[in-house]
Amino acid sequence: MQRKHKEKKMKPTRKDEYDYLMEQIPFPIPTSPFIKISELVKDFEIGEYIVRAVDNVELLIREHEYIAIIGESGAGKTTLLHLLAGLDKPTAGAIYLSHINIIPMDYETLATYRIFNVGLVFQNYNLISSLTAVENVMFPMQLCQIPLNECESKANELLEQVGLTARAEHLPFQLSAGEQQRVAIARALALDPPIILADEPTANLDKKNAEFIGELFERFQSEGKTIVVATHDEKLIKHAHRILVMAEGKIISDKQVTEISFRDNDGETDGIDEVSKSEEVKKIDEAL
């Protein structure tokens, strides 16, 4: 006869409670980043005037996609990126990341969402002027209370990836525009976020630096990141799989220009389709 084993009921410990809580909180997002934007509207009210900067946008962003958003000045590109990053709240609509709607989250929760999921790169770099290059890259890791030596070695590794080992101790004003942007990109990668959102990251850069950043983004995408970049720069657009054109807050064109390919964990490259992009990009440029 099999003896029935009576399970001893244990009082939950602090660690159990913590683990349970962590299971409930969607940070970092447990599955692949899969963004769905639904009926998104953003109005800005200035006195009596209302500017509809984002007008009923519907969009699905697949994992590992590299999307370039183009469109005339004032089309709503920056506003859309800010909403995606959780930096601003929409007037209406929803943004789902792996099926979780980020819109009802309060700003504190959104900040946590950003830290773990989104790397942000802006046109004007937004580096902290009193911190050196390496300290700027360490900053988001320190916010997450990662031990100092780990922060430092990861920051140096990232600076090496963007070709700035020799500039680690420089302050932002001692760096060229291209170097500052590369530090900002290294910082955006500090917590290894699955998504990179970039707003005109090459707008202040010369051709060589813009090429370098285009190649960096291409490499990050091939390593599995999802990239959404608002840009007018052909050197970034040419790496994109998909090109969205915005006008007056709407997406007026959405073209897949090549298949997505990226390296799996096993190092294999998947899904390559050598469709030429340049012709499509040219047509879209002409249409603008």
Ligand X SMILES: Nc1ncnc2c1ncn2[C@@H]1O[C@H](COP(=O)(O)OP(=O)(O)OP(=O)(O)O)[C@@H](O)[C@H]1O
Which string of x and - marks every residue 25-64 that binds Mg ion (by CB under 5 A)?
Answer: ----------------------------------------
Helix (H, G, I), strand (E, B) or coil at 1: coil
132 makes contact with Mg ion (CB under 5 A): no
Tell me how far, at minimum, the Cβ of 232 lies from ligand X, in Å.
7
Q: Which own/partner contact pairs does 235-238 have at CB distance under 8 Å and 24+ positions apart?
A: 235/202, 235/207, 235/210, 235/211, 236/68, 236/201, 236/202, 236/210, 237/68, 237/70, 237/281, 238/214, 238/277, 238/278, 238/281
Task: Report, in Å, the least distance between residue 199 CB and Mg ion.
Answer: 6
CB of 233 to Mg ion, least distance (A): 13
C-beta of 171 vs 247, nearer to ligand X: 247
Based on the shown chain and the rule CB under 5 A, indicate whether residue 231 belongs to the binding site for Mg ion: no
Q: What angle do CA 212, 215, 220 make, to 5 degrees?
A: 125
Nearer to ligand X, 191 or 246 (CB): 246
Stretch that binds Mg ion, among 11-19, 70-78, 142-150, 271-279 (CB under 5 A): 70-78
In whole angstroms, how close is the CB of 37 to ligand X at the nearest point?
Answer: 15
Task: Give the SS3 label for residue 135.
Answer: helix
Question: What is the DSSP pairing of strand 250-256 with strand 262-263?
Answer: unpaired
Instruction: State which residue, 78 or 221, has the beta carbon closest to Mg ion.
Output: 78
At residue 244, the 3 state secondary structure works out as strand
Residues that bind ligand X (CB under 6 A): 44, 46, 51, 53, 71, 73-79
H or E stretch at 216 = helix 207-222
139 exposed, middle or buried (CB, 10 Å; 0-12, 13-18, 19+)? Answer: middle
- Figure out which of the listed residues 57, 70, 75, 78 binds Mg ion, where binding follows CB under 5 A: 78
Residues that bind Mg ion (CB under 5 A): 77-78
